[in-house]
A = this chain, B = another copy of it.
């Protein structure tokens, strides 16, 4: 591997903004990517605002990256200049542990390297994400964007897509299963599309009557107003799976009551404590399951893109110039986006 200055050092040397610097000289397994589009994930806001602590400034967010290859390291076999490619939430892992061997790099026992605000395993530099003109990533962590997929609308598949696809696959959702999707944002609306494509009957849980028409438009077979106690009670014991995409504290118990025996409540959005507390009798008496799920490994990240190409699925997006990112964040905080902002990176290049 060639020694390189850290990104921060390059930035200091150059006086240029971070987005405007070649990320590093190519290592043998590296793919250099010119970024065309980058999805905006709520996680980006958390890092920008240091909500979880630990943000290293300057931070370059963005882990829903789609672009094209501009150069490859000498050992790269699977990518060539001009290929349309994607990069998701990870750019490296140890590659040796049981999780990496299983293609579950997100659970790397030595800790995966996040696409931004992480630490490069080779030179210790900070990793920078996709709100940028280019990025350099080891080939194992690059996926191909199949022909026929709209590149901009494919970008959110790299996080919102894989996050909802992976658990539905992991738990074997199949034709005829009854799947409930809780939350109708960037993740939720993707969950609906995937569960439908897998043959399930899909119900959207929403808090407001005003969203019923939109839920149906999204493809939901049924809609349940989660604030209506009677509707929730009527759904008792109905679902095989619930895909819970709500990113803030909420009561899981009324949802779990809607599961069949052996049903599974899959949480992808919530990292905090469960309050009000989980009623364990609801699990024990019906052999129900509460499970977490985190993005997906690299083989499955390629799989979701291929699945989307095959089933003509993309994310519903609103395109954005980078100059409007702060407004976009404000709108996202209010839930005012259908369903994912994607930055047209040409706007960044035009600004230079």
Contact = CB atoms under 8 A, between A and B. Distances in A.
Nearest to A237: B109
A310 interface: no
A105 to B, nearest CB: 11
A273 interface: yes
Contacts of A42: none
B290 A294 contact: no
Contact of A280 (B107, B261, B271, B281): B271
A212 to B, nearest CB: 28
**Of A268, A275, A284, which is in contact with the most chain B CB atoms at under 10 Å from its CB?**
A284
Interface residues on A, range: 35 or more
B273 A275 contact: no
Contacts of A278: 273-274, 277-278, 290
A283 B277 contact: no
A286 interface: yes
Nearest to A289: B291
Given A99-B261, A288-B292, A289-B291, A271 B275 contact: no
Interface in A165-186: 170
Given A261-B99, A277-B274, A283 B291 contact: yes
A9 B290 CA distance: 46
Interface in A286-305: 286-294
A104 interface: yes
A301 to B, nearest CB: 15
Interface of A: 99, 104, 107, 109, 170, 237, 261-262, 267-268, 270-294
19 contacts: A104-B261, A107-B261, A107-B262, A270-B280, A271-B280, A272-B281, A273-B279, A274-B277, A274-B278, A274-B280, A280-B292, A283-B291, A283-B292, A284-B292, A284-B293, A287-B291, A287-B292, A287-B294, A289-B289
